[in-house]
A = this chain, B = another copy of it.
Amino acid sequence: MALLQPAANFDTTRRGAHPVRMTRVAGTVGPPARSLPATLLDDGRVGRHVRVPKTAELVAAHLRRQIVRGELVEGDALPPEAVLMEQFGVSRPTLREAFRVLESEALISVRRGAHGGARVHRPDGHVAARYAGLVLEHRRTTVADVQHARASLETPAVRTLAETATPQVIARLRAALTEAAAAIDGRGQGEADGTTADPRAPLLGFHHLLVELAGNQTLTVIDHMLRHILHQAASHGTGEHPDAVGPVTEEAGPEHQDVHRRLVELIERQDALGAEALWRQHLAEPGTEPLSHAVLDLLGG
């Protein structure tokens, strides 16, 4: 939570009509105090003709940076509003504007009541997926388009996976296979992925696991975003049928299980070309390619 050193230099030439504001309290007050490097929100540029940053935006940016840089970690509680007001030297409405912004970014969640207040959450791909989905929905993108994009992501991932396969990676893939096999036989147990609590997670997560094990963090995040968008579109757009999510996001038949098994074997044999070819064919199968040419419909049509 740090000492939340606010902006000290505001050139805005505020007069003394009001008690001096924006004078940060330098003292470390919070219980768990973290060191915060002296930051300068405004580097003294004078040429800025437009783009006057709002005070709430500055406060939000300050807290956001602390969260992103790890100075504020998951579950950390921010000081009460009154303390933050004094530390930042802003009024309550301004502070609350910053809260709403950060809350919309899922970087904090504010609860009211005793022991309430703002708690920190680490940024996950869901928020990025939400805004990417906004753009896609605005462009009238179809669900099939998103699915095709996700398939395009998996192909290079499989290739890389086959090229850089380690015993640990093979072990995780095989574990996923056995988990999926156990889940398809009846009840399934949770997945180590931790992304969803769906008991069908082992079935749904194999594709994502491929991307994740490929080792590229950016592709992993992107795949997570696309997966989130597809899941949201399936459960929110095409008629509130959570049961219909399966064929839309992933396949779950035993014949697909066989393809998965063969893919792991090819990866284990370091057959990059073979693995890529198999997966490309698998993704192009009509059973996998869904019929949803509907326009993406997030955030409630």
Give chain A's interface residues, CB within 8 Å of chain B. Answer: 54, 56-57, 60-61, 64-65, 67-70, 93, 96-98, 100-101, 103-105, 122-125, 127-128, 131-132, 134-139, 141, 145-146, 148-150, 152-153, 155-157, 160, 216-219, 221-222, 225-226, 299-300
Contact = CB atoms under 8 A, between A and B. Distances in A.
Given A135-B123, A135-B124, A218 B148 contact: yes
Contacts of A141: 217-218
Contact of A131 (B103, B128, B299): B128
A189 to B, nearest CB: 26
Question: Per DSSP, are chain A's interface residues mostly helix, strand or loop, or mixed?
Answer: helix
A198 B56 CA distance: 32
A126 B232 CA distance: 22
Contacts of A131: 105, 123, 127-128, 131
Closest 9 pairs (CB-CB, A-B)? A149-B218, A152-B156, A128-B131, A128-B132, A97-B100, A101-B104, A141-B217, A93-B93, A149-B219
A54 B109 CA distance: 11
B157 A54 contact: no
A149 B222 contact: yes
A139 B226 contact: no
9 contacts: A54-B103, A69-B137, A100-B100, A124-B135, A132-B221, A135-B221, A136-B217, A145-B218, A152-B157
B134 A216 contact: no
Given A56-B100, A64-B134, 7 more contacts: A57-B100, A68-B138, A68-B299, A98-B100, A100-B101, A105-B131, A148-B216
